[in-house]
Amino acid sequence: MVSEIALYGGEPVRKKPLVIKRPIGKEELEKLKEVIESGQLFRWGGTKVAEFEKEFARFYGVKHAVTSTSGTAAIHIAVGAVNPDPGSEIVTSPITDMGTVIPILAQNCIPVFADLDSETYTLDPKDLEKRLSEKTKVIIPVHLFGYPCDMDPILEIAEKHDLYVIEDCAQAYLAEYKGRRVGTMGHLGCFSLQMSKHMTTGDGGITVTNDDELAERARLFMDKGWKRGAGTTARCYLIFGFNYRMTELQGAVALAQLKKVTWVVERRRQIAEYLNRQIEQLEGVYPLKSTKDRKGSYWLYPLKIDPEVLGVTNIEFAKALKAEGIPAGAGYIGEPLYMAEYLRQKKVYGKSQCPFKCPLYGREINYGPGLCPNAEKLLKQIVTIPCNELFTDEDVQDIATAIEKVAKYFAERKSRP
């Protein structure tokens, strides 16, 4: 007989909260002290942001890195660098943060959602190709939870149809696909420095590329289109752009964080691999595993449950884990992004229904239930658990014990006559 779970009055696996701290301390303070003592907080008068861009590019083995104020800004900079015409379609994932979609709409383009692979929660290349039209200009694959998309077929589709690829790597520092780091395979790669990410400045972003022309446009777009050092004292604005400049304070923290991110990712992989081994035999529970070709970096630790086997929803499963003292969420986002009311009603810019009704688009697109069946099903199966590099071995064992306890309880209850 399996022990009564805490949700129904049993003794919880743990009573003290899991650590939520990040490795932020004296190294960051030392860099910040240098900035404060310099008296220069603005990136164009200081040195830290420029140094971080150089160091991040070297760390990732790319030619160019452009910093910004957020992961959303990093994607917007990438879209701005590509500069698609208004009314262009950009294909992406229906399960991601809205920060992936905001830049598409901000450039008056149309988000098109392709369905996901049910095992990896990433874009299904076959479904992706079905979503293309003569209006498609860009693909934004999202490496969700730090798990790499199947990039080779995506890149082949992009080359076949002459499309740009912008990788959303907000959750995927150092994740690898066939030995290549995500963010380095598409035309541009975008990272987030938000507080929950593998490395952080509280908020911030990085856009990387090996394309000199795209890099120049990205830098301009980040800084209001201002061509600095153009050989004249008058301001010279070359393209339309935004003010997405990172401050020297963020740059200082980023430099310190860059030296820690390899350890952070390696430790999270160790945690995930241990959990995978502990729960892989459980009935109705399926962890997301790294493979020979795809090496995840575990922004969160996701697993998929089978409601038919366990007799409960992922919401109930997550509640049961919480009662055991393990923070857990169900589905990541409540519904696919195309179910957001303002998208379904096409209410982005006032009452205009632009860009959807823009003459430059000239097509009809509708969002609603059934658009991406796999994604909709996944959101009723996924359970997410924090993955923190500062977890102790005891913490990790408690997570494994709680998952096993809850899964076995529900599976046994379901099997009773």
Task: Give the pLDDT confidence of 357-375 residue by residue, as tens digits.
Answer: 999 999 999 999 999 999 9
Q: Are 239 and 221 in contact (CB under 8 A)?
A: yes
Q: Please determine, for residue 142, whether its predicted confidence score (pLDDT) is greater than 90.
A: yes
Which residues share a beta bridge with 194? 202
- The C-alpha atoms of residue 21 and residue 105 are separated, in whole angstroms, by 35
Q: How sure is the predictor about 19, in pLDDT bands with cuts at 50, 70 and 90?
A: confident
As a residue count, the chain comes to 417
Q: Are 94 and 113 in contact (CB under 8 A)?
A: yes
Which residues share a beta bridge with 180? 177
pLDDT at position 411: 95
- The C-alpha atoms of residue 147 and residue 281 are separated, in whole angstroms, by 21
Q: Which fold has domain 26-259?
A: Aspartate Aminotransferase; domain 2 (3.40.640)
Q: How sure is the predictor about 232, in pLDDT bands with cuts at 50, 70 and 90?
A: low
3-state secondary structure (DSSP) of residue 295: strand
- The C-alpha atoms of residue 235 and residue 224 are separated, in whole angstroms, by 11
Mean pLDDT estimate for the chain: 96
Maximum alpha-carbon separation in the chain: 83
Q: Backbone dihedral region of 123: left (phi > 0), alpha (psi from -120 to 50 degrees) or beta?
A: beta
- The C-alpha atoms of residue 67 and residue 171 are separated, in whole angstroms, by 16
Q: Please determine, for residue 20, whether its predicted confidence score (pLDDT) is greater than 90.
A: no
Residue 9 CB-density burial (10 A; 0-12 exposed, 13-18 middle, 19+ buried): exposed
pLDDT at position 289: 87
Which residue's entry shows tokens 């950009």?
90
Q: How sure is the predictor about 1, in pLDDT bands with cuts at 50, 70 and 90?
A: low
Q: Are 46 and 358 in contact (CB under 8 A)?
A: no
pLDDT at position 414: 84
Residue 32 CB-density burial (10 A; 0-12 exposed, 13-18 middle, 19+ buried): middle
Q: Where are the beta strands (DSSP E) in 135-277?
A: 136-140, 164-168, 176-177, 180-181, 188-192, 205-209
- The C-alpha atoms of residue 41 and residue 87 are separated, in whole angstroms, by 39
Q: Please determine, for residue 233, whether its predicted confidence score (pLDDT) is greater than 80.
A: no
Q: Rounded mean pLDDT of 309-333?
A: 97
Q: Rounded mean pLDDT of 126-143?
A: 98
Cis peptide before 355 (omega within 30 of 0): yes
Q: Rounded mean pLDDT of 87-115?
A: 98
Between the alpha carbon of residue 53 and those of residues 30, 306, 387, the distances in Å are 19, 44, 27
Tokens (6 digits) for 15: 């009573």
Every domain of the chain with CATH number 3.40.640.10 lies at 26-259
Q: Are 42 and 351 in contact (CB under 8 A)?
A: no
Q: Please determine, for residue 34, whether its predicted confidence score (pLDDT) is greater than 70.
A: yes
pLDDT at position 416: 80
What residues have CB less than 8 Å from 157, skipping those under 6 apart? Answer: 125, 128, 129, 132, 139, 163
Q: Rounded mean pLDDT of 43-47?
A: 96
16-20, 172-176, 201-205, 210-214: range with lowest mean pLDDT: 16-20
Which residues share a beta bridge with 177? 180, 294
Q: Rounded mean pLDDT of 183-208?
A: 98
Q: Are 192 and 204 in contact (CB under 8 A)?
A: yes
pLDDT at position 15: 93
pLDDT at position 415: 83
Tell whether domain 6-22+261-332+376-415 is in CATH 3.40.50.1820: no
Q: Rounded mean pLDDT of 317-336?
A: 97
- The C-alpha atoms of residue 86 and residue 59 are separated, in whole angstroms, by 35
Q: How sure is the predictor about 169, in pLDDT bands with cuts at 50, 70 and 90?
A: very high
Q: Rounded mean pLDDT of 312-318?
A: 98
- Provide, rounded to the nearest whole percent, the portion of the chain with pLDDT above 70: 99
- The C-alpha atoms of residue 79 and residue 317 are separated, in whole angstroms, by 39
Tokens (6 digits) for 46: 């200081």
The answer to pTM > 0.75 is yes
Q: How sure is the predictor about 38, in pLDDT bands with cuts at 50, 70 and 90?
A: very high
Q: Please determine, for residue 231, whether its predicted confidence score (pLDDT) is greater than 70.
A: no
User: Tell me: the pLDDT tens digits for 246-289?
Assistant: 999 999 999 999 999 999 999 999 999 999 999 999 999 999 98
- The C-alpha atoms of residue 31 and residue 27 are separated, in whole angstroms, by 7
Closest CA to 415 of 279, 314, 310, 317: 310
Every domain of the chain with CATH number 3.90.1150.10 lies at 6-22+261-332+376-415
The dihedral built from the CA positions of residue 238, 243, 244 and 248, taken in this order, carries a sign that is positive
- The C-alpha atoms of residue 81 and residue 241 are separated, in whole angstroms, by 9
Q: How sure is the predictor about 72, in pLDDT bands with cuts at 50, 70 and 90?
A: very high
Q: Please determine, for residue 139, whether its predicted confidence score (pLDDT) is greater than 80.
A: yes
